[in-house]
């Protein structure tokens, strides 16, 4: 059985994710020590996941092993993770590898991180045949998503589209006082797009306290928590792209409700004294009430997506379909593998009887081999239907029925096939 313990930007603070990802190389061996048959750990700045193959190990034991290996009290993890159980693990990993669960939808870096997670498990000797197949299929699913959908363009397109829509209000980007709220992948993409348009006066704020390292890395100004409201009020352009819900509302802008500015009209002329707010957050970072403040225009994802090309608008749905089909294929192949030992036991038994009868025919004078040829053909015909039915039953989750029939009719068990195939 497969389990995945996952903590990400959707469930945990960045501080906790950093603690979990500090020594990821310790986690997989600890999971094997706890009784797992295999473990692969995926650790990034926005995600920590342990994929585990288990038999008698509970999810609580897996979580305790993760916490102990990471040096974190188990209580600190409460409410910051979720457990994905066996029927859904493949679809979850395939979605992660394809960028569907990333901060920036469709970002490509995660695919390499998934491949490196498997390589690390191989080096540590913690992977298993099932996990090998799972992660290899994840890479195949990611490549198919990239090749047949527009997902890899969709996330960055939101940034591009939002700034294109903002062009109708901004005459000189170099004169804008920009406040960027967030320090994740979207923030980096947004910053690059702002600079391409000529923006130079850019500050960054992070509710998670990561503004300083982000600002130092990118050569912009960090904003302290105590100064956030003041800087927000005086910024002419605010762009929010953080995983923290509702970081900006009327209170931070220190305004009183007045004339309705409403959502951004893409046909409006320039308004040099107005304030434009672009909310790229998922979930929503900006209280929609700010659009009711005088002089404030709000451009949110709903508005941006109205202007998105149809191909990119549908990219996520198309990618989800690819991932779902890949997961179904993974489970179908796994089901077929589960019945393979029983099929091998039956075929070994039948071929053993066949060889005995062929030898008897030879002793009786079958010099031209016609009897042998006929008997081999008959054996193939007789085995075709039960082999096909075995795979069909396995695909329906009824492999145990084939096992029971095999034991009832022939006195054979799947366990016997291992010895049979080993000596064949």
Catalytic residues: 45
On the CB side of 364, how many CA atoms lie within 13 Å of its CA?
A: 10
**Tokens 């099929």, residue?**
343
Q: How far apart are the first and last CA of the chain?
A: 30
Q: What is the number of residues in the chain? A: 424
Beta-bridge partner residues of 4: 51, 84
β-pairing, 221-222 vs 82-84, is unpaired
Q: Quote the CA–CA distance of 397 and 338 in Å, as a whole number.
A: 10
Burial 143-154 (b: 16+ CB within 10 A, else e): ebbbeebbbbbb
Q: Quote the CA–CA distance of 396 and 116 in Å, as a whole number.
A: 34
Q: Quote the CA–CA distance of 385 and 247 in Å, as a whole number.
A: 63
β-pairing, 237-240 vs 177-181, is parallel
3-state secondary structure of 308: coil
Q: Quote the CA–CA distance of 51 and 70 in Å, as a whole number.
A: 15
Question: How is residue 420 written in tokens?
Answer: 């049979």
| Cβ-contact 214, 253 below 8 angstroms | no
On the CB side of 146, how many CA atoms lie within 13 Å of its CA?
A: 15
């Amino acid at each position: 059985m497969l389990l995945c313990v996952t903590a990400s930007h959707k469930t945990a603070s960045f501080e906790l994710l950093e603690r979990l990802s500090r020594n990821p190389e310790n986690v997989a061996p600890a999971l094997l020590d706890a009784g797992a048959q295999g473990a692969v750990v995926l650790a990034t700045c926005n995600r920590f996941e342990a994929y585990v193959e288990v038999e008698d190990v509970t999810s609580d034991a897996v979580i305790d092993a993760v916490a102990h290996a990471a040096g974190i009290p188990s209580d600190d993890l409460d409410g910051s993770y979720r457990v994905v159980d066996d029927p859904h693990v493949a679809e979850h990993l395939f979605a992660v590898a394809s960028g569907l669960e990333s901060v920036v939808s469709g970002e490509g870096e995660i695919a390499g991180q998934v491949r490196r997670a498997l390589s690390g498990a191989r080096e540590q000797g913690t992977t298993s045949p099932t996990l090998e197949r799972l992660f290899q299929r994840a890479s195949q699913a990611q490549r198919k998503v990239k090749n047949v959908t527009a997902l890899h363009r969709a996330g960055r397109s939101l940034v591009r589209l939002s700034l294109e829509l903002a062009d109708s209000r901004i005459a000189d980007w170099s004169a804008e006082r920009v406040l960027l709220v967030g320090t994740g992948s979207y923030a980096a993409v947004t910053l690059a797009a702002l600079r391409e348009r000529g923006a130079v006066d850019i500050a960054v704020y992070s509710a998670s306290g990561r503004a300083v390292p982000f600002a130092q890395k990118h050569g912009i100004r960090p904003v302290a928590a105590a100064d956030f409201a003041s800087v927000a009020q005086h910024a002419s352009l605010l762009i929010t792209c953080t995983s923290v819900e509702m970081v900006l509302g009327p209170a931070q802008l220190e305004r009183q409700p007045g004339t309705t500015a409403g959502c951004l009209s893409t046909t409006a002329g320039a308004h040099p004294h107005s304030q434009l707010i672009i909310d790229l957050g998922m979930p929503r970072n900006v209280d929609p009430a700010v659009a009711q403040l005088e002089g404030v225009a709000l451009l949110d994802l709903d508005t941006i997506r109205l202007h998105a090309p149809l191909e990119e608008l549908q990219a996520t749905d198309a990618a989800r379909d690819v991932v779902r089909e890949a997961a179904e294929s993974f489970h179908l192949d796994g089901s077929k593998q589960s019945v393979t030992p029983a099929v091998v036991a039956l075929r070994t038994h039948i071929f053993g009887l066949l060889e005995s009868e062929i030898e008897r025919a030879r002793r009786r004078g079958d010099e031209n081999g016609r009897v042998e040829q006929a008997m081999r053909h008959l054996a193939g015909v007789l085995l075709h239907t039960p082999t096909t039915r075995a795979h069909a039953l396995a695909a329906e989750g009824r492999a145990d029925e084939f096992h029971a029939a095999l034991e009832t009719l022939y006195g054979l068990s799947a366990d016997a096939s291992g010895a049979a195939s080993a000596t064949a």
